[in-house]
């Protein structure tokens, strides 16, 4: 082997080694980038104390995604499935009982981390018979009614809005949770708002007084190994959470306005309000044309309605237990 061949082989060897080093460096860079991506994804999933600036920018740019229809009365329901549930997954299959079903995406979860943004005022609705889809009736023919509240928040894994209908034993579980965090939210020197808490939702099978079994939603604060409640304290995450509160409140008001019924008669309050407004309008139009006797009669009818307050459960309702 002459010197020229030896230099050629040496050069090729050095070239191959250089190429190998470049490949290793590129692989190392790829692995580092993958690790960074995993960390970014982890930060989004757990919504811990730290959120990367990249994720924060995404949150800011997309804070309205998923909320477009909320203010128009469309409620993105999150519920626990039961044996008799009519919910279906995307493939048409029936979900197993005891799972969380998110209606907008038809997805199932075993448990869900959420931020609870708001709880509606209490209101009464008719009890619907699952088999007939008609209101259940009392012996006197009036519709059976039930006390409700709506719980609204964001799924922390996707930042999508959700609404839970809380009534009966499910209302009690929600109310117990709210009571448990009240001392923290009302702390004199360093209060923590409800939306800041990291909350895990789990389902629990219980037996009812009627001998049936169904699932309730348990609300549990996420705690560290020192039993300290964990909170969403990142400013960018808080901005996203705060931006979701008003749309949910507006959606709740819209929903309640068309669903709320009189506790005792089961009649829609919206109909009663419309009737009251009709009486008041007729009085303005006819007052100058009717006789004094007719006007007195109309005033008496109006006076009967003055005592009617269609939103009387706004204050008392939040403290009235369901029946």
Tell me, what's the pLDDT at 274? 56
Contact (CB, 8 A) for 219 and 174: yes
Query: Does residue 220 have a pLDDT over 70?
Result: yes
Torsion angle of C-alpha atoms 290, 294, 300, 301, degrees rounded to 10 = -80
Q: What is the mean pLDDT of residues 207-215?
A: 81
pTM for the full model? Answer: 0.63
- Domain ranges in the chain are 47-259, 269-319
Q: What is the pLDDT of residues 41-70, one digit of tens each?
A: 544 333 333 445 554 454 444 434 444 444
Query: Does residue 178 have a pLDDT over 70?
Result: yes
How confident is the prediction for the chain on average, in pLDDT?
74
In sequence order, the β-bridge partners of residue 236 are: none
Q: How far is CA 27 from CA 18, 19, 23, 39, in A?
A: 14, 12, 6, 18
Contact (CB, 8 A) for 197 and 115: yes
Tell me phi and psi for residue 55, to 5 degrees: -65, -40
Residue whose token pair is 């929600």: 174
Q: What is the mean pLDDT of residues 235-262?
A: 92
Element (H, E) at 293: helix 292-306
Q: What is the pLDDT of residues 254-267, one digit of tens each?
A: 999 999 999 998 99
Q: What is the mean pLDDT of residues 75-91?
A: 90
Tell me phi and psi for residue 247, to 5 degrees: -60, -40
Distance CA 168, CA 261 (A): 17
Tell me, what's the pLDDT at 311? 30
Between β-strands 145-155 and 100-102, what pairing exists: parallel, antiparallel or unpaired?
unpaired
Tell me, what's the pLDDT at 86? 85
Name the percent of the chain lying above pLDDT 70: 61
Query: Does residue 20 have a pLDDT over 50?
Result: yes
- pLDDT bin (cut points 50, 70, 90) of residue 72 is very low
Q: Which residue has the higher pLDDT, 13 or 95?
A: 95
Contacts of 189 (CB under 8 A, 6+ apart): none
Q: Which residue has the higher pLDDT, 13 or 212?
A: 212
Q: What is the mean pLDDT of residues 122-143?
A: 90
Burial class of residue 113, CB neighbours in 10 A (0-12, 13-18, 19+): middle
Tell me, what's the pLDDT at 169? 86
Query: Does residue 186 have a pLDDT over 90?
Result: no
Q: What is the pLDDT of residues 29-39, one digit of tens each?
A: 666 566 655 55
Tell me, what's the pLDDT at 301? 32
């Amino acid at each position: 082997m002459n010197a020229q061949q030896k230099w050629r082989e040496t050069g090729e060897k050095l070239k191959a080694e250089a190429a190998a080093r470049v490949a290793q460096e590129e692989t190392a860079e790829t692995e580092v980038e993958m690790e960074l991506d995993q960390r970014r994804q982890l930060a989004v999933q757990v919504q811990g104390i730290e959120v990367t600036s990249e994720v924060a920018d995404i949150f800011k740019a997309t804070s309205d995604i998923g909320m477009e229809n909320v203010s128009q009365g469309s409620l993105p329901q999150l519920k626990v499935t039961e044996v008799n549930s009519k919910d279906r997954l995307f493939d048409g299959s029936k979900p197993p009982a005891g799972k969380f079903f998110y209606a907008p995406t038809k997805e199932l979860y075993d448990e869900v981390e959420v931020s609870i943004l708001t709880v509606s005022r209490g209101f009464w609705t008719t009890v619907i018979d699952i088999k007939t889809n008609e209101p259940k009736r009392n012996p006197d023919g009036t519709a059976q009614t039930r006390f409700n509240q709506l719980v609204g928040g964001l799924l922390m894994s996707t930042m999508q809005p959700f609404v839970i209908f809380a009534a009966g034993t499910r209302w009690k579980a929600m109310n117990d949770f709210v009571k448990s965090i009240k001392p923290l939210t009302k702390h004199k020197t360093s209060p923590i708002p409800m939306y800041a808490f990291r909350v895990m939702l789990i389902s629990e099978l219980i037996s009812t007084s009627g001998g049936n079994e169904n699932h309730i939603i348990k609300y549990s604060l996420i705690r560290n190994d020192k039993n300290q409640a964990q909170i969403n304290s990142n400013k960018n995450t808080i901005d996203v959470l705060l931006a979701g509160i008003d749309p949910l409140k507006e959606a709740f008001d819209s929903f309640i306005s068309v669903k709320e019924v009189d506790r005792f008669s089961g009649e829609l309050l919206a109909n009663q309000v419309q009737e009251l407004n009709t009486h008041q309008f007729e009085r303005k139009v006819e007052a100058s044309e009717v006789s004094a006797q007719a006007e007195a009669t109309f005033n008496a009818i109006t006076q009967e309605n003055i005592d009617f307050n269609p939103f009387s459960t706004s204050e008392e309702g939040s403290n009235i237990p369901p029946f």
